[in-house]
Structure 1
Amino acid sequence: MKRIGMLTQIFIGFVLAIILGVIFGPSIAVVQPLGDLFLRLIKFIVVPLVLASLITGITSLNNVNKLLSLGGKTIVYFLATTFFAVLIGLAAGFILSPGKGVDIALPTESAEKAEAPGITETLLNFIPVNPFESLTNGNILQIIFIAIAIGIAITTVGEKAKPLADFFEALAQVMYKITGFIMKLAPIGIFGILAPIVGNYGLDILLPLLKVILAVAIGCLLQVLVTYSIAVRTLGKMSPLAFIKGIAPAGIVAFTTASSSGTLPVTIKNTQENLAVSKEVSSFVLPLGSTINMDGSAIYQGVAAVFIAQFFGVDLSMGQIVTIAFMAVVVSIGAAGVPGAGLIMLTMVLQSVNLPLEGIALIAAIDRILDMFRTSTNVIGDASAAVVVQHQENKASLAKSA
């Protein structure tokens, strides 16, 4: 197996999971502990990795102004790609018309009606009341705030805080090493996660809603092949083929785990080793992207809103379409990088244009499958941001030295 590349090993595990899941059906759940083990190992390293790598990334800048510049470029890129993602999602929904002609009864057990937080609450939740509780609960948004606060403070204190900066640098290096060990188990872990999903769902629930799955899948594919490819070629000066090949292992892990935050260790490893992104850029851009850059979720929101409108026979006005686009951008930024968050955020989009919330029950039936497509898109989008920001930083450094 050592002679076979990691990407090939992961792909073999992926294909075997689909084949054996179809053959053995629900009984393939016997391999689920392999997936659970891999997920637990990934979750084990996420919190210390995000904290240490982000603090290290900030302190390595040695300049608050540079931090603001890096953050500004990153957020502008995220907003731009999310805007294009919404347009692609809406276009896919209207062109494929997944809600027209669908004749299925609403599930008697509808989706959990969890209320999505408002914009003000989302912003306030960014700031932790108890930092130790945030670290214990793995609240990535609050951990990012903690890391940014500590990183800026270390930078402004200067030489006296160097021992603390060295500690987080050492911790980051240790976590990178542990990530490398865990990644060796990725093919087995992916097999253990995906096979039971295929075995449980089968084709019965997929066929009536196949056009929804197809619309989201095509939308995500276009986002990767068009939006990100153009961005890395024009703004990052990198071959799109080299980019996709370099980030493919993280994309596959994201597809199977359906968690941007859970895939973060793999994303950081791939961007540094395969895409030549520096630690200072990847350590800042990727943790931030795993929580606020949700292009796949934006595509999903657009497709789902159009599907539900068509299913209930509601003709969307231009004003409603614009509202959906705006809300999809807002809620995709606020969605947490965990499985199922997009379904909760969909309630905000539907409520904004008075579409029936009962339609969520339809989407809930296939949400886990849609989550796989949108999460892999989110992760690839984060990596494209890291490549673009890295090139822009390199260009700015050359301009200053000239």
Structure 2
Amino acid sequence: MKSTQSGKKLAKKMIIALICGLVAGLGCILLRENLLASGQESLWNTINNVLFQDITAEGANNAIGIFYIVGQLFVNALQLIIIPMVFVSIILAICVITDTKKLGRISSKTIGTFLITTVCALIWAGIIGSIVYKLGAFNAVHADNLVIQEGTVGSNPLNIIVSVIPNNLINAFTNNGNVLAVVFLAVAIGLAMNQLKDKTKTLKKLLIECSDIISVCLSFVITKCAPYAIFCLLTRTFAIYGIDYLLPALAYVLTVIFALIVYLFIAYPIYLMVMGKMNPKPFMRKIPKVALFGFSTSSSAATLPINKETTVNELGVSEEIASFVLPLGMTVNMDGTAIMQVIAAIFIAASSGYDVTITSMAVIAFLALIASVGTPAAPGAGAVILFTILTGMGYTNDGALLAYSLILAINRPIEMLVTSLNVVGDSATSVIVGKKENMLDEDIYHS
């Protein structure tokens, strides 16, 4: 109940910040146009230097840039959490997998199902995102004064494979663009901890405590700081570049919502029929309360108790299966997150001046696959991990940052729907694995 109320409270704050930011931004647009039209350009330049100017830009030595500083501090705080969040989450997820025959078999089927559903989600998101991109809905921003930086999409995509194994342990943790190397190290350490078993009890306890600390920090940044930072970022966005960002943002929201809803109501019933040989109707009838709880809390972790209760008591899955699949799915199974990240990355690339090609979309999908695996079950984590994809693709100009600020502001309802998709996917995978292992009570399932 407390998580639900907290989630609703944060959603209200984000909506208020969004509305206030839009109103203040539009007011700044009108003020700028009136001042420029009346020949008071120097007055507007003074206002811009005090409130909105990028203080790192050339010639901005005397600028104050209050809104820029507040927004940048928030962005830096999010970036600071990325590497430890991915590293700790993946190690703990791998630690769940044991090397006994039975659980080894269950784990392979579980991870295999997660992989299939996530790849299908990425393909679906790529198709929808490319269609909307080709229609030009993401290309409404015209910011000729932006300096487009070269990304990694022009190089051989196979370079990503080379970067998976780092040649320097310290460097792997000092650059947010090295997320693949961090993932490799996390998997390797997780597997080694499984091999050593009880000898790593202390380390595992330490990692759990680190995960708790990261969750608290992330919760503080998102809950306490996000509304104010979003207001500053949005106001600055519209004050500098105008209303042109609103149209592609609206297209982004509608595109993601459509992709998520279609996947939720069509893909999972198909998975149950094809992979589980089960009638999906009982599942779709019993799972809505889990989806609604996930929607209201925007946290897979907060939804775990009710998801486990529903999966075991109402869907007939063995508690042994559910106790393994559902906690692992909180980190590994992120279908909704993957869909959101792919479409968001395409939107940011298109709206900030980068070309989106088949190659770049393939690389985005690959990075989204890896990044979604390392997304913790905490509110706002999906949007934070999106930074990893943007950095890996080289989408780092000012336009990309501003587009990302819009996504942060309007993404709360989307992430609520993303969480619903993720928790439903965890339960569906439990049913599929339970059926394959003959650990599903079909009488309870069909009741």
Give TM class, smaller chain: 0.5 to 0.7
When residues 119 and 67 of structure 1 are mapped into structure 2, their CA distance, relative to the original with a 3 A threshold, is: farther
Aligned residue runs from structure 1 range 130-279, under 5 A: 130-131=168-169, 133-135=171-173, 137=175, 139-155=178-194, 157=195, 161-175=196-210, 177-178=212-213, 181-182=216-217, 185=220, 186-202=222-238, 205=241, 207-232=243-268, 235=271, 237=283, 239-240=287-288, 242-250=290-298, 267=299, 269-273=301-305, 275-276=307-308
Are residue 80 (structure 1) and residue 116 (structure 2) matched? no
State the shift of 1:219 in Å. Answer: 0.9
Superposition RMSD on alpha carbons, in Å?
4.7
Aligned equivalents of 1:146, 1:3: Cα separation in 2: 33
1:80 to partner: Cα distance:
0.5
- Equivalent positions of 1:1-400 (< 5 A) are 5-22=5-22, 26=51, 35=74, 39=78, 42-43=81-82, 46-47=85-86, 49-59=88-98, 63-93=103-133, 97=137, 99=139, 106-116=143-153, 118-131=156-169, 133-135=171-173, 137=175, 139-155=178-194, 157=195, 161-175=196-210, 177-178=212-213, 181-182=216-217, 185=220, 186-202=222-238, 205=241, 207-232=243-268, 235=271, 237=283, 239-240=287-288, 242-250=290-298, 267=299, 269-273=301-305, 275-276=307-308, 280-281=324-325, 284-285=328-329, 287-288=331-332, 294-300=338-344, 324=357, 328-335=361-368, 337-339=385-387, 341-342=389-390, 345=393, 364=400, 367-369=403-405, 371-372=407-408, 380=419, 383=423, 385-399=425-439
Query: CA distance change for structure 1 residues 165 and 280 in 2, over 3 Å: closer, same or farther?
Result: farther
| Alignment-mate amino acid for residue 341 of structure 1 | I
**Structure 1 portions without partners, runs of 5+:** 251-266, 313-322, 348-359
Residue identity opposite 2:89 in structure 1: V
- For the 8 Å contact 2:133–2:350, the answer to whether it is kept is yes
Alignment partners' CA distance in 1, 2:351 and 2:433: 41
TM-score by length of 1: 0.67
Q: TM-score, normalised on structure 2? A: 0.61
CA–CA separation in structure 2 for the residues paired with 1:44 and 1:326:
26
Decide whether the 8 Å contact of 1:98 with 1:209 is kept in 2: no
CA deviation digits over 1:178-198, x for unaligned, max 9? 356446634313223312112
Computing the radius of gyration from Cα coordinates, the structure with the larger value is 2
CA-CA distance at 1:286 after TM superposition: 5.0
Question: Structure 1 residues 92 and 184, CA, compared in 2 at 3 Å: closer, same or farther?
Answer: closer
**How much has 1:57 moved relative to structure 2?**
2.1
How far, CA to CA, are the matches of 2:142 and 2:175 in structure 1?
A: 38
CA contact (8 A) 2:87 2:182 kept: no
Contact 1:286 1:383 in 2 (8 A): yes
Evaluate the alpha carbon distance shift between residue 272 and residue 137 of structure 1 in structure 2; reply closer, same or farther with a 3 A threshold: farther
**How far does residue 78 in structure 1 lie from its aligned partner after superposition?**
1.1
Q: Counterpart of 1:318?
A: none
1:90 aligned partner, one-letter code? S
> Identity of paired residues, percent?
16
On the 8 A contact 1:21/1:198 being kept in 2, the answer is yes
Q: CA shift at 1:325, angstroms?
A: 5.6
Q: CA deviation at 1:91?
A: 3.5
Deviation at 1:86, TM superposition (A): 1.9
Q: Deviations over 1:192-227 (max 9, x none)?
A: 331211221137635334432222211101122221
SS of residue matched to 1:112: coil
Counterpart-to-counterpart distance in 1, 2:418 and 2:169:
26
Q: Which runs of 5 or more residues in structure 2 are unaligned? A: 26-50, 52-65, 273-282, 312-321, 372-384, 443-447
* Secondary structure of 2:12 counterpart: helix
Verify the 8 A CA contact 2:18 2:230 in the aligned structure 1. Answer: yes
Contact 1:32–1:193 (CA<8 Å) still a contact in 2?
yes
Pair 1:392–1:308, CA change in 2 (3 A): same
- What is the CA–CA distance in structure 2 between the aligned matches of 1:38 and 1:308, rounded to whole Å? 23
Q: Report the count of equivalent residues.
A: 356
Alpha-carbon spacing, 1:134–1:217, altered in 2? closer, same or farther (3 Å)? same
CA contact (8 A) 1:21 1:199 kept: yes
